[in-house]
């Protein structure tokens, strides 16, 4: 089943604890650190547009790309309240990326790359991103770390009850394939009853050296790796890792 299809309209409620203001500030900190003043950007796997619309609100022009029409519908609706920059949302699989222009920066955050489970596909994405960047442009993306998927999430079950929606999240980590299976059962209140939705998601626990090799194969030469929301090297127990790549 397409990821995020059944619960696009409750996704934001389930992600309410994510500090998107902090994420947006960190992206801008990266721009400053690299001396880049981007104007036109794209966010891949943009979901319901939480980061996209915040960046637009700060004056940037964005193309939001996602494979889920439902998620984009929510993102587009929220974009109506944003008035600084401009945004276009495209229903597109980033494995078949085709953007109408060269860009100053391309982003992919909040596990987008973890959903790419095959080496040949992630290399294809990296090459396409490289081709869509201007010289000097930045490619910024994060991954949930191998440690997080294998140790924190893997073999564990989580459950939460909110007003109008509840979920059960069962995880299974396959050490031979480095794949974490997420079985999600969501109960959404519709009138006087709760409707049950079930989805299965798969994320790959990418290893840092494998990603760097794929980036180099795509043409990137300047690659830095950071523990999320700072500029220190990742630790063994880092849960989220950022990659910042500059097209020379």
Taking only the tens place, the pLDDT of each residue in 110-121 is 999 999 999 999
At 25, which helix (H) or strand (E)?
Answer: helix 20-33
At 171, which helix (H) or strand (E)?
Answer: strand 165-174
Cβ-proximal residues to 181 (8 Å cutoff; 6+ apart), any chain: 171, 172, 173, 174, 200, 201, 202
The CA distance from 92 to 72, in Å, is 10
Place 8 in a pLDDT band, splitting at 50, 70 and 90. Answer: low
Cβ proximity of 109 and 19 under 8 Å:
no
If you ran DSSP here, which 8-state letter would residue 230 be given?
Answer: S
CATH code: domain 148-204 is 2.20.25.110
Strand partners, 241: 143, 227
Residues 153-176 have pLDDT tens digits of 999 999 988 888 888 999 999 999
CA angle 166, 46, 189 (to 5 degrees): 20
Question: For the chain, what is the mean pLDDT?
Answer: 92
Please, what sign has the CA dihedral across residues 141, 219, 59, 94? negative
At 66, which helix (H) or strand (E)?
Answer: strand 61-66
Domain ranges of the chain: 11-144+205-246, 148-204
pTM for the complete prediction?
A: 0.92
pLDDT value of residue 32: 97
Question: Whose structure tokens read 């999430």?
Answer: 153
Distances (CA, A) of 70 to 33, 76, 90: 35, 10, 12
In this prediction, residues 220-245 reach a mean pLDDT of 97
Backbone φ, ψ for residue 20 (5° rounding): -70, -25
Q: Residue 113 CB: number of other CB atoms within 10 A?
A: 23
| CATH class as words, domain 11-144+205-246 | alpha beta
Cβ proximity of 170 and 182 under 8 Å:
yes
The CA distance from 160 to 243, in Å, is 31
């Amino acid at each position: 089943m397409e990821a995020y299809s059944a619960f696009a309209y409750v996704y934001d409620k389930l992600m309410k604890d994510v500090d998107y203001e902090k994420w947006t500030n960190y992206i801008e900190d990266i721009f400053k650190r690299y001396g880049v003043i981007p104007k036109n950007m794209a966010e891949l796997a943009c979901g319901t547009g939480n980061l996209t619309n915040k960046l637009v609100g700060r004056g940037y022009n964005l193309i939001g790309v996602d494979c889920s029409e439902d998620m984009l519908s929510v993102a587009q609706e929220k974009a109506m309240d944003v008035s600084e920059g401009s945004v276009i949302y495209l229903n597109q699989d980033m494995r078949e990326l085709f953007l109408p222009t060269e860009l100053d920066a391309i982003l992919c955050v909040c596990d987008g790359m973890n959903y790419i489970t095959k080496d040949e596909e992630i290399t294809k994405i990296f090459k396409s991103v490289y081709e869509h960047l201007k010289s000097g442009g930045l490619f910024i993306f994060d991954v949930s770390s191998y440690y997080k998927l294998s140790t924190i999430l893997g073999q564990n079950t989580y459950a939460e009850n909110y007003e109008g929606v509840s979920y059960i999240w069962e995880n299974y980590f396959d050490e031979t394939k480095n794949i974490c299976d997420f079985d999600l059962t969501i109960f959404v209140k519709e009138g006087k009853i709760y409707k049950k939705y079930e989805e299965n998601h798969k994320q790959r626990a990418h290893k840092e050296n494998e990603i760097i090799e794929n980036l180099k194969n795509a043409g990137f030469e300047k690659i830095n790796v950071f523990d999320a929301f700072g500029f220190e090297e990742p630790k063994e127990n880092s849960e989220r890792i950022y990659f910042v790549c500059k097209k020379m």
